Structure 1
Amino acid sequence: MEPFKWQCPHCNHHTTITNSNFKDNEFGLSINNADGSKLLYSYYIVCPNSDCNKYTLDAILLDTTYELRGQSYKHYDQKEKKRWRLIPNSFAKVFPKYVPTAIIQDYEEACSIISESPKASATLSRRCLQGMIRDYWKVKGNSLFKEIESIKDKIDPLTWQSIDATRKIGNIGAHMEKDINLIIEVEPNEAQALINLIEVLIKDWYINRHERQIMLEEIVNVGKTKTELKKKN
């Protein structure tokens, strides 16, 4: 396998994974059945951070096609059908305690149900986004649309477009279409994209602000210390 960059979901440590930290396995279902051939691919990764050293376990179910090649069946034309994070029990990242609890709860729940119901996950991402806008930007309108419009001139255009797209996708689960026979699905990769945006915004709006505050307070304290030393001399 080629080494790849990875962030541990237990300790948030950024690292590069190699063969020494990674193992995988495949189980093929080639028996004739009503749903077609499937391949179950699983892998686990051990965090190389000595202060953590915990493992993650993931499984992916794929639609596949089998054909006899030599003495054994080989699979090809794979398409991901479902994905599970088994350990820890969701794909949620661990964020600092100073991020509001309500936001973390919605984020973690959106992560935990992404495989079972991408539409519900997208709805929770929408709710999480609204909570972040109200908390961080101190705005509150009659609708999420108006709240997003009120911060349009405060953030960069691409971030704003991503936030507005999250609102629109989340609306699919939050509101029934006028034609109840019209069903618009949300794909797992689309729900994951919304979760990725939430993670980016938590880092940009909360973590970066907190780290900046600590750095500036440290500079102020250094200035006070030097001023006191100057007075004594």
Structure 2
Amino acid sequence: MANDYSWTCPYCRQVATIKSDNVSADTHSFDQNNKHGHLGLRTNVTVCPNSKCREFTMTAALYKAEYNPNLRIVGKPLLNWSLKPQSSAKPFPDYIPLVIRQDYEEACLVCALSPKASATLARRCLQGIIRDFWGISKSRLIDEISELHGKIDASTWQAIDAVRSIGNIGAHMEKDINLIVEVDPEEADLLLRLIEVLLEEWYIHRYEREAHMQKVIAAAQAKTAAKNGGNP
């Protein structure tokens, strides 16, 4: 590999510098006898350099290819595959309800193949988040979202409001969550990015805050016990 580059591991989420000993790449060529002409399949395996992770990712991309005089891939990829992990879903901790994580992960998995199916799953995931975290339950997702106004910080509300006002997303949220509605890939991706923000801002921040407070409480109790000769 010619140059080192920055890379974010999809498993541990750490930013790392990838060097030649962390990556393996190769190209398999197809001859001109197939109806699409000369093609090259480029595979790439990257190992996370984080000693606590060491997971690997595997991707593949199909290109036009030519010999001049050696094999050379040409232009942008015709097709891309993420083989491991299979989607762009971020890993979220187990204390987030399983059904929410499953809907989110499946929505990410099918986003490229079927944006409308992805958006349907993402809409159900969003409703599950609001009902579980805030205890808000209305007949329509749009009404549940409206109920959040004034209960959450301004920047989070602006993100929610911005996504629900784009293209078919707004209409998508006003319908039955199980009804499949046409959305374009960019809209489906925006809905997934919103879900990631909410999982981070609500569940993870709350968990980390409570964990930090428990450490403070435990430290204070230990200090009090020490002053009292070991008694609380």
TM-score bin, normalised by smaller chain? 0.7 to 0.9
The Cα shift of 1:102 comes to 0.8
Name 1:141's counterpart in structure 2.
138
**Pair 191,83 (structure 1): closer, same or farther in 2 beyond 3 Å:** farther
Does structure 2 retain, via aligned residues, the 8 Å contact 1:3–1:18?
A: yes
Distance (Å, rounded) in 2 between the aligned partners of 1:168 and 1:141: 18
Of the candidates 104, 115, 132, which is equivalent to residue 118 of structure 1? 115
Name 2:211's counterpart in structure 1.
214
Distance (Å, rounded) in 2 between the aligned partners of 1:113 and 1:176: 14
Distance (Å, rounded) in 2 between the aligned partners of 1:130 and 1:216: 29
Distance (Å, rounded) in 2 between the aligned partners of 1:72 and 1:128: 49
The Cα shift of 1:205 comes to 1.1
Q: How many residue pairs align between the two structures?
A: 221
Does structure 2 retain, via aligned residues, the 8 Å contact 1:30–1:37?
A: yes
Does structure 1 retain, via aligned residues, the 8 Å contact 2:26–2:43?
A: yes
Could you tell which deviates more after superposition, 199-208 or 19-28?
19-28
Could you tell which deviates more after superposition, 53-62 or 141-150?
53-62
Distance (Å, rounded) in 1 between the aligned partners of 2:165 and 2:119: 11
Distance (Å, rounded) in 1 between the aligned partners of 2:199 and 2:61: 28
Amino acid at match of 1:5: W
Sequence identity (%): 33
After TM superposition, list the pairs within 5 Å mapping 1:165-204 onto structure 2.
168=169, 171=172, 175=179, 184=182, 186-187=184-185, 190-204=187-201
The Cα shift of 1:114 comes to 2.4
The Cα shift of 1:194 comes to 3.0
Distance (Å, rounded) in 2 between the aligned partners of 1:208 and 1:134: 18
After TM superposition, list the pairs within 5 Å mapping 1:7-26 onto structure 2.
7-9=9-11, 11-26=12-27
The Cα shift of 1:75 comes to 5.3
Gaps of 5+ in 2: none
The Cα shift of 1:48 comes to 1.1
TM-score by length of 2: 0.76
**RMSD value, Cα:** 3.4
Gaps of 5+ in 1: 178-183
